[in-house]
Amino acid sequence: MNRKPLLLLLNNAPIGLFLLVFAVFGSLSAKFLDPQNLLNILLQSSATSIVAIGMTFVLLTAGVDLSVGSVMFVAVAVAGKLIFHGQPMWVGFAAAIGVGMIAGAVNAFFITRLRIVAFIVTLAMLFVARGFGLWLTKTRAMNMPDDVTQLGSSQLLGIPGPVFVFVLICLVAHVVLTRTQFGRQIYAVGQDADAARKAGINVTGILFATYVICGFCAAASGLVSLTQTGAVSPSFGDKKEFIAIAATVLGGTSLFGGRGSVFPGAVLGAVLIQTVENGLVIINANPYVYPLVTSGIIFLAVLIDCLRGQLLAKLNRRRIYATA
Amino acid sequence: MTIARNDIRADEPSALRFEGISKSFFGVKVLKGVSFSVPAGHTLGLVGENGAGKSTLMNILGGNLLSDGGEMILAGAAYRPTAPQDARAAGIAFVHQELNLFSNLSLAENLFLTDFPTTGGLIRRSTINQRTTVLLDEVGLKLPPDTLVERLSAGERQLVEIAKALSIEPRLIILDEPTTSLTARETEHLFALLGRLRERGIALIYISHALQDVRRLCDDVVVLRDGEVVGQGARTELTVERMISLMVGREIAQLFPKRKATPADQAVLVVRGISQPGIVRDISLDVRAGEVVGIAGLMGSGRTELARILFGLDPMERGSIEINGVPIDTLSPRERVTAGLAFLTESRRDEGLCMDASIADNLTLAAAAKRTTGPAGWLDRQALHSDVDRIRRSVTLTATARNEQPVKTLSGGNQQKVVLAKWLLNEPRVFILDEPTRGIDVGAKFEVYSLINQLAERGAGVLMISSEIAELIGMCDRILVMSRGAIRDEIHRHEFDRERILKAALHDGELAGKGLET
C-alpha cells in the first residue's frame, strides 16, 4: 500500500512538472520569478492556450486536427488583407473567425459525412489552408496598422487584452465541457462512439461541432497572436498543431478520446511549454537547445502518464485471498 | 411518432402485441410472421438458438430496423418506430447484453446523458443527483451519484443499466442476457428487482439462454426457431427439456457427446507448486494426453488468474510449468504457443477475436507464423487458404458464413467456434479453455463440446474452466475444485458428485454461492 503516495504524485504529474520547472528556472535566474515576467509568460501563452483549448475538444472525441496552424495563418491573412485595404478592424476580425469556422466545418464535413479519417482530412487542410493563405498574401509579410498592436497591449479591467480573451475562452470552454449536455456527450462519444449512437446521441452533430470549435479557436488564437506581433508573415502559425497537441497531452488529455480537460489540462500544458521557452530565454540558453528541452518535457509527461496507467492497473488488480 | 405515456387502456389486456411481423435480409426470411403478446405486468421469456430471430425482432421493436410486414400494438395503439428515440418516447427500454455505459462518466451522467435537466443550458447537478439517488435506490445500489462508472463491478453496472431503463418510466423493459456477467448473488438481487418491477405493472421481455432462469422468472415463454414461433405457453407447461427440444427442433438425447478415446498415461501438462501472493497458492496439477480436466470454482476463486499465469500473461513467483516435459515457465505467451499451448479466454469479444477482421484472417492469426516462406517471411496465401478450408470443414460454421465475412457479424456460438478453430491450425498439445460455452445457445454448445472431444481424441490435453458444474460433469475425466486461490479437491469421473464439488468450492466458510450454476 506504499504505492498510494507514488500514485498521488503521478496523478498530479503535470502540476508537479510545473512546479519543478519553476523551481529550476527560479533558482537559475532571479529575473524569472519577477511578477512582470510571470505576466509575460501568461501573455506569451495566451495564443497557444487558445489553440490547445480547441484541440482538446477534438482530442476528447478521439479525433485530431492537424490543420490548426495553417488555419491560424489563413484566418489572419484574410483579416490582414481586409484591414490593409481599409476595412474597419472588426470586419477583418469577424472575417478571420468566419474563415476559421468554415475551415473547421470543411474538415468536419469530410470526416463525418464522407467518413474520411481525421488525420488525413486535416493533414490535407494543413496544406490547402497554408497554400491558400500564401496565395492571398503573395508570400509577402504584411505589417498591420498600429491600432491592431495597440489592441494587443490594451488592458481590460486591469488585465492585458490577450490574457483577457484567453481567460474568457478558457472559462466558456470549461463550463461547456463540464456543465452542459453537449460537453458531457463529447466525453461519451470519445469513450465509445458506437455506444453513444445507440444511446441516442447525435454523434455526427457532436463531431461536427468539435471541429468547428477547433477552427474557431485556431482563428481566435491567430488574432490574439496578430495583435501581439503586428504582422502576418508566411510562417505565421507554422507547426502550431504540434505545440497544441503537445500542450493538450501534457495536460493529461488522452489521444484515444474520452479523457482530459481544458482546465487545468490544456491550459496547464500550454503555459508549461511557454514557461520553459521563457525560462530558456531568461537564462540565455543556446536557442538550438529549446526544442530539445521542450520535447524532453513532453516525453517526460507522456512517460509519467504511462507509468501512472500501469501502476493503477496493478493497484486495481483483484486479489483472490488476503495477503499479510 | 410518440404515444402519450399515460393512456394505457384498461380494456387492452396486452402491453405489447406483435402481429405477423416479418423481415427479410437480402431475400432471406429471418422473421416469418411472428405473433405473440406480452400482458402488462407480466414477464415473458423469449428463447431460441442464436440466429432464431430474437435480435432482429428486438431491433424492430427498438426502432433500429423496419419490419417488412405485420404490426405492433402498444397499449392498444399502433406502434411504428423509425428510430431508437421513438421506442424511448413510447416507454420501451432496453437493457443490452453488452453494457452501454460510459466508464469515463459518472453514474448520474450516464442516466441522463440524452436529456439532462438544464437551466440556461447548464446541467442542474443537484436535480440529477437527487433523481439518480432515487433511481439507484430502486435497484438497490447504494453509491454516490457522482461515482465514475469505471469504479463499478460488472454486476453493479448491470443494475445501473436497469436504473437507466427506469429513468424513462418505461411500460416495457427488454432484458437481453442480463445475467451473463453476474455472480449468483447479483443474479438473485436482479431477480428480486425484476419481481418488484413486475408488481408495478411494468411488462418485461426476458431473453436468455439460461433456461432455468427463464423458467423461474417468467410467466410465459415464447420459443423462436428460424424466425417462427414454434412454441408458447405458461411456464408450467414448458419444462426446460421441452424448451430445448422446441429450440433445436429435435429432442436432444444427450446433452454431452461421447468421447471415443481414453486418456493416455503420459502427461502433456505438468504444473508444480505455482504461487503468486494474493492470487494463487501452491497449485500443482497434471493433464494427460487425451484427457479433459475441469476446473470448478466460484467466480473470483482464482480460476481465470491461474489460466492467465499458465499462459504467461501474468507473473508467478514460484513453481514450474512443463509441456511434454519441456519447461515453459520462462517463456513469453508467444513462445508458449510455439511450445504447444493454446488459450481460449473468458471474453472472446475483447481478447479472443479481432471482431472487424474476417473469419479467414482470424482463423489464420495464430498459425500465420508457420505459413511463411522465404527469408522475408512472406505469407503463403495458398497454404493459409487450404488451412482455412480444412479447419472450416471440421468446425461446421454456419453455411452462409463466407470466409471474408467479418467475425462480428457471426452469432456468439459461431464466434466461439472460430476462436477454437483458430488454434486448431497450430495443433497444440494443451488447450486451456476459460468458459468456452458462455453465452452461446444449446445447439452451439453441443458442437463446442464435440469439438473439445475431438481435440482430446487427437491426443491434446484440455484444461477446461467453467461455472456450470453440469457441463464439467458431462465433459471431464477429472475435476479440480478451486477456492481462494488454491485447489481444494480433486474428483475422478466415477465419483463425480455435484454436492461435493459445491462444498469444496465454498471451502472455508464462504457461503452463499457466487457464480455457480448447479
Could you give the 3-state DSSP secondary structure of residue B340? Answer: coil
Distance from CA of A26 to the nearest CA of B (A): 38
Q: Which residue has the cell 437493457?
A: B95
**For residue B274, pLDDT beyond 60:** yes
Nearest CA in chain B to A181: B116
Alpha carbon of B423 to those of B322, B388, B395: distances in Å?
A: 19, 11, 12
In angstroms, the CA B480 to CA B285 distance is: 9
Residues on chain A touching B277 (C-beta within 8 angstroms): 323
Distance from CA of B282 to the nearest CA of A (A): 13
Q: How many CB atoms lie within 10 A of CB A247?
A: 29
B129-185: per-residue pLDDT in tens?
Answer: 999 999 998 888 888 999 888 878 777 888 888 888 888 889 999 998 887 667 777
In angstroms, the CA A104 to CA A215 distance is: 4
Number of H helices, E strands in chain B: 16, 24
In angstroms, the CA B336 to CA B421 distance is: 18
Query: Which of A188, A200, A320 is the closest to B102 by Cβ?
Result: A188
Distance from CA of B517 to the nearest CA of A (A): 20
Alpha-helix residue ranges (DSSP H) falling in B200-324: 211-217, 240-248, 303-311
Q: Which of B460, B392, B390 is nearest to B428 (CA)?
A: B460
Top residue of B100, B101, B313, B508 to mutate, by most chain A CBs within 10 Å, is B100
Average pLDDT, chain A: 89
Pairing relationship of beta strands A231-232 and B220-225 according to DSSP bridges: unpaired
Nearest CA in chain A to B102: A188
Alpha-helix residue ranges (DSSP H) falling in B146-297: 154-166, 184-199, 211-217, 240-248
Distance from CA of B327 to the nearest CA of A (A): 26
In angstroms, the CA A274 to CA B316 distance is: 46
Distance from CA of A203 to the nearest CA of B (A): 12
Residues of B with CB under 8 A from a CB of A: 84-85, 88, 96, 100-105, 109, 113-116, 118, 121-123, 125, 277-281, 300-302, 305, 484-485
Nearest CA in chain B to A60: B104
Confidence of residue B427 (pLDDT cuts 50, 70, 90): confident
In angstroms, the CA B378 to CA B442 distance is: 41
DSSP β-bridge partners for residue B77:
B74
Q: Do B118 and A181 touch (CB under 8 A)?
A: yes
A324 has a chain B CB within 8 A of its CB: no
Q: Which residues contact B163 (CB under 8 A, 6 or more apart)?
A: B111, B132, B135, B136, B138, B139, B141
Confidence of residue B3 (pLDDT cuts 50, 70, 90): very low
Residues on chain B touching A187 (C-beta within 8 angstroms): 102, 104-105
Q: Which three cell numbers stand for residue B71?
A: 404490426
Q: How much is the pLDDT for A319?
A: 55
Nearest CA in chain A to B281: A321
Nearest CA in chain A to B93: A199
Q: How much is the pLDDT for B213?
A: 84
A284 has a chain B CB within 8 A of its CB: no
Q: Do A192 and B485 touch (CB under 8 A)?
A: no
DSSP β-bridge partners for residue B274:
B283
Q: Which three cell numbers stand for residue B234?
A: 405458461
A259 has a chain B CB within 8 A of its CB: yes
Q: How much is the pLDDT for A316?
A: 58
A184 has a chain B CB within 8 A of its CB: yes
Apex B398 CA angle, B397 and B401, nearest 5? 95
* Residues above pLDDT 70, as percent of chain B: 86
Determine the average pLDDT of the residues in B421-450. Answer: 81
Q: How much is the pLDDT for A156?
A: 81
Q: Do A198 and B84 touch (CB under 8 A)?
A: yes
Nearest CA in chain A to B95: A199
Confidence of residue B515 (pLDDT cuts 50, 70, 90): very low
Q: Do B104 and A181 touch (CB under 8 A)?
A: no
Q: How much is the pLDDT for B502?
A: 74
A110 has a chain B CB within 8 A of its CB: no
A198 has a chain B CB within 8 A of its CB: yes
CB-based burial label for A175 (10 Å; 0-12, 13-18, 19+) = middle
Q: How much is the pLDDT for B464?
A: 94
Give the A window 117-156 contacts with B, CB below 8 Å. none
Top residue of A181, A259, A261 to mutate, by most chain B CBs within 10 Å, is A181
Nearest CA in chain B to A197: B84
Handedness of CA A125, A126, A127, A129 (dihedral sign): positive
Phi then psi for residue B214, to 5 deg, are -60, -45
Could you give the 3-state DSSP secondary structure of residue A160? Answer: strand
In angstroms, the CA B364 to CA B424 distance is: 10
B53: left (phi over 0), alpha (psi -120 to 50) or beta: left
In angstroms, the CA B518 to CA B296 distance is: 11
Confidence of residue B405 (pLDDT cuts 50, 70, 90): confident
A318 has a chain B CB within 8 A of its CB: yes
A312 has a chain B CB within 8 A of its CB: no
Q: Which three cell numbers stand for residue A192?
A: 465509445
Query: Which of A180, A188, A318 is the closest to B105 by Cβ?
Result: A188
Which position has the higher pLDDT, B495 or B298? Answer: B495
Alpha carbon of B457 to those of B260, B264, B291, B474: distances in Å?
A: 7, 10, 8, 16
| Lowest-confidence region among B16-20, B26-30, B460-464, B471-475 | B26-30
Nearest CA in chain B to A203: B114
Residues on chain A touching B305 (C-beta within 8 angstroms): 318, 320
Q: Do A191 and B122 touch (CB under 8 A)?
A: no
* Structural contact between residues B208 and B177, judged by C-beta atoms closer than 8 angstroms: yes
Amino acid, res. B166? L
Q: How much is the pLDDT for B371?
A: 67
Q: Which residues contact B186 (CB under 8 A, 6 or more apart)?
A: B155, B158, B159
B166-205 b/e with 16+ CB inside 10 Å = b?
bbbebbbbbbbbbbbbbbbebbebbbebbeebbeeebbbb
Return the DSSP state at B515: S
CB-based burial label for B322 (10 Å; 0-12, 13-18, 19+) = middle
Q: How much is the pLDDT for B398?
A: 58
| Lowest-confidence region among A107-116, B12-21, B138-147, B240-249 | B240-249
Q: Do B122 and A179 touch (CB under 8 A)?
A: yes
**For residue B509, pLDDT beyond 50:** no
Q: How much is the pLDDT for A1?
A: 46
Q: Do B278 and A200 touch (CB under 8 A)?
A: no
Distance from CA of B122 to the nearest CA of A (A): 5
In angstroms, the CA A261 to CA A270 distance is: 13
| Lowest-confidence region among A209-218, A251-260, B177-186, B237-246 | B177-186
Nearest CA in chain A to B110: A188
**For residue B54, pLDDT beyond 90:** no
* Structural contact between residues B363 and B418, judged by C-beta atoms closer than 8 angstroms: yes
Confidence of residue B6 (pLDDT cuts 50, 70, 90): very low
CB-based burial label for A106 (10 Å; 0-12, 13-18, 19+) = buried
**For residue A237, pLDDT beyond 50:** yes
Handedness of CA B456, B460, B463, B464 (dihedral sign): negative
| Lowest-confidence region among A114-118, A313-317, A318-322, B415-419 | A318-322
Q: Do A320 and B100 touch (CB under 8 A)?
A: no
Cis peptide before A14 (omega within 30 of 0): no
| Lowest-confidence region among B26-35, B331-340, B486-495 | B26-35
Q: How much is the pLDDT for B261?
A: 79
Residues on chain B touching A319 (C-beta within 8 angstroms): 278-279
**What DSSP assignment string belongs to B396-446?**
T--TT--TTSBGGGS-HHHHHHHHHHHHHTT--SEEEEESTTTT--HHHHH
In angstroms, the CA B461 to CA B341 distance is: 10
Pairing relationship of beta strands B461-465 and B292-297 according to DSSP bridges: parallel
DSSP β-bridge partners for residue B37:
B17
Q: Which residue has the cell 441522463?
A: B112
Determine the average pLDDT of the residues in B396-420. Answer: 71
Q: Do B100 and A175 touch (CB under 8 A)?
A: no
* Residues above pLDDT 90, as percent of chain B: 23
Which position has the higher pLDDT, A319 or B4? Answer: A319
* Residues above pLDDT 70, as percent of chain A: 95
Q: Which three cell numbers stand for residue A105?
A: 466545418
Q: Which residue has the cell 485595404?
A: A85
A175 has a chain B CB within 8 A of its CB: yes
Could you give the 3-state DSSP secondary structure of residue B24? Answer: strand
Number of H helices, E strands in chain A: 14, 4
Q: Which of A297, A257, A292, A260 is nearest to A275 (CA)?
A: A297
Return the DSSP state at B468: B
In angstroms, the CA B211 to CA A21 distance is: 63
A274-309: per-residue pLDDT in tens?
Answer: 999 899 998 888 988 888 887 887 787 778 777 777
Strands of B92-95's sheet in order across: B92-95, B172-176, B203-207, B43-47, B220-225, B228-234
Residues on chain B touching A180 (C-beta within 8 angstroms): 116, 118, 121-123
In A157-254 the beta strands, taken as DSSP E runs, fall at 159-160, 231-232
Q: Do A188 and B84 touch (CB under 8 A)?
A: no
Top residue of A61, A179, A184 to mutate, by most chain B CBs within 10 Å, is A184
Query: Which of B102, B123, B278 is the closest to A179 by Cβ?
Result: B123
Residues on chain B touching A189 (C-beta within 8 angstroms): none
Average pLDDT, chain B: 82
Q: Which residue has the cell 426502432?
A: B63
Query: Which of A185, A258, A320 is the closest to B305 by Cβ?
Result: A320
A205 has a chain B CB within 8 A of its CB: no
Amino acid, res. B330? T
Which position has the higher pLDDT, A49 or B84? Answer: A49
Query: Which of B100, B101, B300 is the closest to A320 by Cβ?
Result: B300
A185 has a chain B CB within 8 A of its CB: yes
B105-128: per-residue pLDDT in tens?
Answer: 999 999 998 888 988 889 999 999
| Rg of chain B taking only CA atoms, in angstroms | 25
Query: Which of B102, B277, B278 is the closest to A187 by Cβ?
Result: B102
Handedness of CA A130, A135, A138, A144 (dihedral sign): negative
